[in-house]
Amino acid sequence: MTSPSSEPPVIQLSAVGYTYSGPPPVQALRPTDLVIRRGEHVAITGPSGSGKSTLLNLLGLLDRPTQGKLEIDGIDLGHASERDRAAVRARHIGFVFQSFHLLPHRSAIENVMLAFVYADVPRRRRYAEAMSALGGVGLARKAHALPTELSGGERQRVAIARALVNRPSLLLCDEPTGNLDTTSTKELTDLLGGLHGQGATLLVITHNPVVAAQAQRQIRIRDGCLSEQGPALPHDPEMLRDQRDPWTQEDPGAHFGEQNGGSHARPGV
């Protein structure tokens, strides 16, 4: 069960499954084994309704498996209290979402500092650590800008700084480029690649084949079943089969809606 370096995996799923109770019950994730080791960069792709969000919610400790065993950094969370799970979540996991989830009336650095709420960083160190995290994503000079004064790509970089400020074991990204144009997507992909190069462990759910192809491991999910793929090329026909338009995510209308009042603007189509 231990890795060659005798370090526990960042993530270990042993026969983990999830069934929504319904009625009727929906088995959204079939019993799954999955090991993600420190420093890996893993992409998860799959069509709408295949179980991506269900898996992300389990890995992010937002939901509990209805069967099987989930360990994060060797910690078995099966019988942990909500309070302990929240503590593990705060210290071990950084989240990046498609729609950034920044507070609109707080500056970039204030948004990053909010991540300290559940963590152990003393107040006097928080500003410096948040500034350092913003520097790490190339945004130190915009630390005092409001989200509305930042581009989409810059907002997502603030969200990444916020996710990283507690030095999590795992960065969980849910469609991180889903609201970004081509240029910002390239910048964000480069940033994720750089983080991986520095040793970060990344799990990225994405519909964008180019973003997925950057990961060293490709996992497909279909009908709640995971399957490991070989390294994929950006134009791998298997990946493109479900994604005729890589810019379109699974919930048409939910994307770009924030910026465009629900109109359906999509770059490049």
Q: Compute CA distances 173 → 43, 106, 268, whole Å.
A: 9, 22, 23
| Residue 28 contacts residue 18 (beta carbons within 8 Å) | yes
Q: Which does 46 bind (CB under 5 to 8 A by kind): Mg ion, ligand ADP, none?
A: ligand ADP
- Beta bridge pairs of residue 174: 97, 205
Residues in the chain: 269
20 binds, among Mg ion, ligand ADP, none (CB under 5 to 8 A by kind): ligand ADP
Shortest distance, CB of residue 206 to Mg ion, whole angstroms?
11
Q: Give CA 89 to chain center in angstroms.
A: 13
- Rounded CA gap, 178 and 55, in Å? 18
Q: Are 218 and 197 in contact (CB under 8 A)?
A: no
Q: Cβ closer to ligand ADP: 8 or 178?
A: 178
∠ at Cα 97 (244, 136), nearest 5°? 115
CA-CA-CA-CA torsion sign (99, 103, 106, 109): negative
Stretch that binds Mg ion, among 12-20, 38-46, 51-59, 139-147 (CB under 5 A): 51-59
* Residues numbered 75-114 forming contacts with ligand ADP, rule: CB under 6 A: none
According to the binding rule CB under 5 A, does residue 53 interact with Mg ion?
yes
127 binds, among ligand ADP, Mg ion, none (CB under 5 to 8 A by kind): none
Size of the site for Mg ion (CB under 5 A): 2
Amino acid 166 reads N
Q: How far is the CB of 175 from Mg ion (least distance, A)?
A: 8
* Cβ at position 64, least distance to Mg ion in Å: 18
Name the residue nearer to Mg ion (CB basis): 44 or 77.
44
C-beta of 54 vs 206, nearer to ligand ADP: 54
Residue 260 contacts which entry, ligand ADP, Mg ion, none (Cβ below 5-8 A, type-dependent) = none
In angstroms, give the least distance from the CB of 48 to ligand ADP: 5
Interface of this chain with Mg ion, residues 23 to 42, rule: CB under 5 A: none
CB count in 10 Å sphere of residue 177 = 28
In the complex, least distance from residue 31 CB atom to Mg ion, rounded to whole angstroms = 20
The two tokens of residue 124 are: 């006097």
Q: Which is nearer to ligand ADP, 28 or 211 (CB)?
A: 28
Per the CB < 8 A criterion, the answer to whether 231 and 200 are in contact is no
Between 20 and 127, CB nearer to ligand ADP: 20
* Residue list 10-69, contact with ligand ADP (CB under 6 A): 20, 26, 28, 46, 48-54
- Enumerate residues 147-186 that contact ligand ADP by CB under 6 A: none
Burial class (CB in 10 A: 0-12, 13-18, 19+), 217: middle
Integer Cα distance of 40 and 218 in angstroms: 11
Return the residue matching tokens 């990344």.
Answer: 202
Residues that bind ligand ADP (CB under 6 A): 20, 26, 28, 46, 48-54, 250
Residues that bind Mg ion (CB under 5 A): 52-53
